[in-house]
A and B are shown apart, each in its own frame.
Chain A
Amino acid sequence: MNRAHRLLILLVAVLLLGGVGTGAVLYAADRSGKKDQEQPGGPAVRPGTVTLEASSGRELVFRNMAWGPHRDEVVSVPAGQPDGPRTASGVKCLRFHAAAGYGICLQAVHHGALEDSYRAVVLDSKLHELHGYPAVGIPTRDRVSPSGHHVAWTVFVSGDSYGGTDFSTRTAIADTRDWHVDDNLETYAIVKDGRPYRASDVNVWGVTFSAADDNLFYATVATGGRTYLVRGDIAGRTLTTLHENVECPSLSPDGTKIAYKRRVPGLPSDAQWRLYVLDLRTMTETATAEQRQIDDQTVWADGSTLVYALPGDFGADLWTVPADGSGSAQVLLKAGLAPAYLG
């Protein structure tokens, strides 16, 4: 085979493969166009005014995942009518949470450069930006404290893109009174089993704030292949371990129970996380009736019901399950993510 033949073969192959690649790109681009059209049978979404002050009864706000022009926008529905028509705010968030008239919105920013960057934006009750912080990785968790004085967010950082598969998390807490930010909770002093602890592999994620004590929060700390529930002190800059095998804690409104996902040994490694509730006074764990793998930080709808996301036809659906282990999991609403109850 001479050089000309080989070049010809390469040329034909490049044309063929180029065609396949172009086809795949066009197909995907076309599909992305469809995502801007409402799907039959989907929830009705209308533009309107969304506020974080519950003026007219209890409301549920969340990221709308339903296809259509308001995809990814923060929407609200009456809490008692979760599958009712959605009011779209025009504000797009990857993750969202709200409390006490403040919202935290983790956004992707498409600027001039090709690569996306992310921002953590604190919103006022009319969803106007109060303050923005750069976020250094892919957004995964966020929370506003019940007082509205603190916001927290967690992102995934892939530190070394040439290393491939090693990930870590970064968690930040900002004060909405002076906009001071602690942009890496790994710098807090860790007390593990009563003794000071230091390690290079510490990761912190999934902050949940206390309603009773403005300085108190709970979070996950991972180190040495284990995950711990920690109690955090903002002023003291400490994290103290309380319990093992806890990820993405969520404190109940009365501050007595924590819902979280727990790795259950013996299950397939891609479906290990189950939803549990820990009683902080007795330190007893209760399994909920949800039998599927959970990868979300749950939200307490009230003192006895948990809300969380599971994969669905349009990304994610919201489900509920009783916190005391009774009952069964029920769909709350389709095509929604990152809920928060107001009022």
Chain B
Amino acid sequence: MYLAESRAAKAPAAAPGKSPGRGGAAVPGTVLALGAVSLITDISSEMVTAVLPLYVVTGLGLSPLGFGVLDGINNGVGSLVRLLGGHFADRGGRGHKTVAALGYGLSALCKPLLLLVHSITLIGGVLAVDRTGKGLRTAPRDAMISLATAPEHRGRAFGVHRAMDTTGALLGPLLAFALLRLTVDGYDAVFTVSGCIAVIGVLVLLLFVPTPAAAPRSEEPRTAPPKLTESLALLKLPALRRLTLCAMLLGLTTVSDSFLYLLLQRQLDLPTRMFPLLPLGTAAAFLLLAYPLGVVADRIGRRTLFLLGHAVLLLAYTAVLLSTGSGAAVAVGVLLLHGLFYAATDGVLAAAAADVTPADQVGAGLALVGTGQALARFACSLLFGAAWSVWGGHTTLAVTAAAMTAGAVTAGFVLRTATPTGTAGAAK
């Protein structure tokens, strides 16, 4: 069914005419189960993330600045691991679930390990393993979501998943601080509870996420699983290549969250105590808008919404650039636009990537697009930081906004030409 439909629905643009308003059955049980796994896992991991600085500084008496160095390395490693995760997931029908379970399991193991390590280096090492687990599981998980969903409903399926994921991310810190209050700085209790929750996440995955049926073959049944070179050869598919290039092009001008919050705070002269609240604003908007925008993506086309999402981000940049003095309303508006941007692009890009990838290589295809985007954003952070030193934050953001406008126009052109014939099967 997946094969037939993914071929039939040549482009998401075909969706609008179909069954508007019948969204109820559009989200399969597999997606809800994977959403539950992500929700539970994110509670667990955000519990740790939220208390780690406090633990390092007040619990261990170390200074956490050393983490910054490790972070850059982790970003690079995480991207490469994601490619491998996507590739191995495509080896045989059970691959997606197995690799995802490995990824979730690896991260679950890290929580009790935190009880044993007490130096910045070792804690950094455990975090790196945790990131590796995250890198491994991302592509197979998204592949399972797209394989389990009828192509015309993939946008909303990813919307549901991202909304559940973000819910977990918001609940985790609350639970962690409640536990710290209850136990008076019982960081070991937080890590233990986080580990238990992570194990439940893995169990829900193993018990309630169905093993995807053997991945449908492109033409005739193949005896050997795809090779790594074949995963990279996916870039020969014009539609996937165009999508990856556009995601990278736009990723190169997507300012990292931290930089955007810093600019917002300085530009609006926000009280510094509000600083930790800014990411929550983005997350809340993302959470509320992910599903509705997923539905919109299914109607107007994922690539169109992906581009519109970047237009929304441009609006947010413009609002930051033009704002002066104190204005809580502007801050709320920018955070809303920022969350809207994520809701219009994050799951939507995965849905768009699944549209143009052969079903038996969907793990690798999603990983390619995701990794390309992540590396481009990382490069943007480095460039943005360097440019800031020379020009200052305001000018750098203005230049970035101009570059993004050019990138979005180019991407609009490139993706438009891709639409008519850009199906996965044609190039295989």
A309 contacts which chain B residues (CB < 8 A)?
61
| Bound Cα distance A304, B53 (Å) | 35
Asked if A166 and B173 sit within 8 Å, CB to CB, the answer is no
**A316 closest partner in B (C-beta):** B61
B199 contacts which chain A residues (CB < 8 A)?
13, 17
Asked if B66 and A269 sit within 8 Å, CB to CB, the answer is yes
Please judge, given known A-B contacts A21-B192, A200-B384, whether A161 and B183 are in contact too, CB under 8 Å.
no
Please judge, given known A-B contacts A31-B186, A140-B57, A200-B384, whether A160 and B392 are in contact too, CB under 8 Å.
no
A13 contacts which chain B residues (CB < 8 A)?
199-200, 203
Please judge, given known A-B contacts A114-B178, A140-B57, A156-B53, whether A167 and B64 are in contact too, CB under 8 Å.
yes
Q: Separation in Å of the A219 CB from the closest CB of chain B?
A: 15
* Interface residues of B, dominant DSSP: helix
Asked if A161 and B177 sit within 8 Å, CB to CB, the answer is no
Asked if B188 and A28 sit within 8 Å, CB to CB, the answer is yes
Q: Restricting to B374-428, which residues have a CB under 8 Å from any CB of A?
A: 384-385, 388-390, 392-393
A130 at the interface (CB under 8 A from B): no
| Bound Cα distance A309, B261 (Å) | 35
Chain B interface residue count, Cβ-Cβ cutoff 8 angstroms: 71
Asked if A25 and B173 sit within 8 Å, CB to CB, the answer is no
Of A35, A163, A203, A268, the contact of B258 (CB 8 Å cutoff):
A163
Please judge, given known A-B contacts A114-B174, A165-B68, A165-B71, whether A156 and B203 are in contact too, CB under 8 Å.
no
Q: Separation in Å of the B114 CB from the closest CB of chain A?
A: 13
**B115 closest partner in A (C-beta):** A24
Asked if B49 and A6 sit within 8 Å, CB to CB, the answer is no
Name the segment of B116-124, B149-157, B244-252, B319-327 touching the other chain: B116-124
A334 at the interface (CB under 8 A from B): no
Please judge, given known A-B contacts A29-B183, A165-B71, whether A136 and B393 are in contact too, CB under 8 Å.
no
Of A18, A136, A140, A270, the contact of B272 (CB 8 Å cutoff):
A136
A110 contacts which chain B residues (CB < 8 A)?
181
Q: Separation in Å of the B416 CB from the closest CB of chain A?
A: 33
Q: How large is the interface on A (under 10, 10 to 19, 20 to 34, 35 or more residues)?
A: 35 or more
Asked if A115 and B173 sit within 8 Å, CB to CB, the answer is yes
B237 at the interface (CB under 8 A from A): no
Asked if B192 and A295 sit within 8 Å, CB to CB, the answer is no
A sample of 30 inter-chain contacts (CB < 8 A) reads A10-B207, A13-B203, A27-B189, A28-B183, A31-B186, A32-B183, A114-B174, A116-B177, A134-B271, A134-B273, A138-B53, A140-B57, A156-B57, A156-B63, A156-B64, A158-B276, A159-B276, A161-B46, A161-B276, A164-B127, A166-B67, A166-B71, A167-B64, A199-B389, A200-B384, A200-B389, A203-B65, A222-B65, A269-B66, A311-B60
> 6 tightest CB-CB pairs across the interface, nearest first?
A28-B186, A200-B388, A32-B184, A28-B183, A24-B192, A28-B189
* B interface list, Cβ under 8 A from A: 46, 49-50, 52-54, 57-58, 60-71, 74, 119-122, 124, 127, 169, 173-174, 177-179, 181-186, 188-189, 192-193, 196-197, 199-200, 203-204, 207-208, 256-259, 261-262, 271-273, 275-276, 279, 283, 384-385, 388-390, 392-393
